């Protein structure tokens, strides 16, 4: 089944067009990346999927349901988890409070506690620091927290906006290992990334976004061996 389908999306900020005729398909269980330079429109795609920016043209489907006009919180409730750019966490809340915020929609007490335990198992570091204010954590730890918080709502599809931003290479690798593990457990992943090399190593399939248009789409392996991609994104 298709988890996500973007169909001919145009998006604008005022008069300025940020996305032109963007179509993307993601099947259940895939790990897909969209690579593109700064300003290409990656974050705008994420915002359109989440309902934080309204496209001027085109439709968005989640599991065959048209969500184009749905409110962001209803999209989240359907199972779309979102890790925004810059790993925003609530700085003055503790690690545990941040996680509980991520699961605030879950009314079943037991399920909430289970999810919290699951996050702590996945990120022992967060358990050690559960009473610490999020702002006192390192960049890498905050990225872990942002990922864990998104997991608290049991997402079907995880949207990740630039996991690599501002992180040391070793932490980028660690974060990507975790995402791969989550993918292995059945979560469908869409990662948008400026760091093409790392994204194409982690994902199964990729799209290239250039000034708001999809110019290429292929398996990650083929993209890694594509001369244009090598020249423009892999710095050879």
Ligand X SMILES: Nc1ncnc2c1ncn2[C@@H]1O[C@H](COP(=O)(O)OP(=O)(O)O)[C@@H](O)[C@H]1O
| Distance in angstroms between the alpha carbons of the first and the last residue of the chain | 37
Residue 65 binds what, of ligand X, Mg ion, none (CB under 5 to 8 Å, by partner type)?
none
Nearer to ligand X, 41 or 102 (CB): 41
Q: Are 126 and 119 in contact (CB under 8 A)?
A: yes
Residue 40 binds what, of Mg ion, ligand X, none (CB under 5 to 8 Å, by partner type)?
ligand X
Nearer to Mg ion, 42 or 87 (CB): 42
Q: How far apart are CA 155 and CA 146, in angstroms?
A: 14
Q: How far apart are CA 7 and CA 58, in angstroms?
A: 5
Nearer to ligand X, 34 or 189 (CB): 34
Site for Mg ion in 73-102 (CB under 5 A): 85
Nearer to ligand X, 10 or 97 (CB): 10
Min dist CB 23 to Mg ion, Å, is 20
Total number of residues shown for the chain: 236
Min dist CB 103 to Mg ion, Å, is 26
Min dist CB 13 to ligand X, Å, is 3
How many residues bind to ligand X according to rule CB under 6 A?
10
**Token pair in block for residue 15:** 């008069």
Site for ligand X in 21-80 (CB under 6 A): 36, 38-44
Min dist CB 204 to ligand X, Å, is 21
Q: Are 24 and 214 in contact (CB under 8 A)?
A: yes
How many residues bind to Mg ion according to rule CB under 5 A?
3
* Contact flags string 39-78 toward Mg ion, x per CB under 5 A: ---xx-----------------------------------
Q: Are 26 and 190 in contact (CB under 8 A)?
A: yes
Min dist CB 112 to ligand X, Å, is 32
Q: How far apart are CA 180 and CA 115, in angstroms?
A: 19
User: Which residues, in sequence order, are bridge partners of residue 31?
Assistant: 189
Q: How far apart are CA 89 and CA 82, in angstroms?
A: 12
Residue 154 binds what, of ligand X, Mg ion, none (CB under 5 to 8 Å, by partner type)?
none
Cα–chain center distance at 59:
20
Q: Are 196 and 234 in contact (CB under 8 A)?
A: yes
Q: How far apart are CA 140 and CA 60, in angstroms?
A: 32
Min dist CB 116 to Mg ion, Å, is 30
Q: Which residues bind ligand X (CB under 6 A)?
A: 13, 18, 36, 38-44
Q: Which residues bind Mg ion (CB under 5 A)?
A: 42-43, 85
């Amino acid at each position: 089944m298709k988890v996500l389908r973007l169909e001919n999306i145009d998006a604008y900020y005022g008069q300025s067009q940020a996305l032109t005729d963007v179509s993307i398909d993601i099947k259940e269980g895939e790990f897909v990346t969209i690579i593109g330079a700064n300003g290409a429109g990656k974050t705008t795609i994420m915002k359109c999927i989440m309902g934080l920016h309204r496209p001027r043209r085109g439709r968005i489907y989640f599991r065959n349901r048209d969500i184009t006009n749905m409110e962001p919180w209803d999209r989240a409730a359907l199972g779309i988890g979102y890790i925004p750019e810059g790993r925003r966490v609530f700085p003055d809340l503790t690690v545990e409070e941040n996680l509980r915020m991520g699961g605030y929609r879950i009314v079943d007490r037991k399920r909430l506690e289970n999810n919290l335990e699951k996050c702590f198992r996945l990120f022992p570091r967060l358990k050690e620091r559960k009473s610490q204010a999020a702002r006192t954590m390192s960049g890498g730890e905050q990225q872990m927290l942002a990922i864990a918080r998104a997991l608290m709502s049991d997402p079907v599809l995880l949207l990740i906006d630039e996991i690599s931003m501002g992180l040391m290479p070793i932490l980028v690798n660690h974060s990507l290992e975790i995402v791969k593990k989550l993918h292995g457990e059945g979560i469908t992943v869409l990662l948008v990334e400026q760091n093409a090399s790392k994204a194409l190593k982690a994902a199964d399939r990729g799209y290239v976004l250039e000034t708001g248009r999809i110019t290429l789409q292929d398996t990650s392996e083929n993209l890694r061996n594509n001369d244009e991609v090598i020249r423009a994104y892999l710095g050879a």
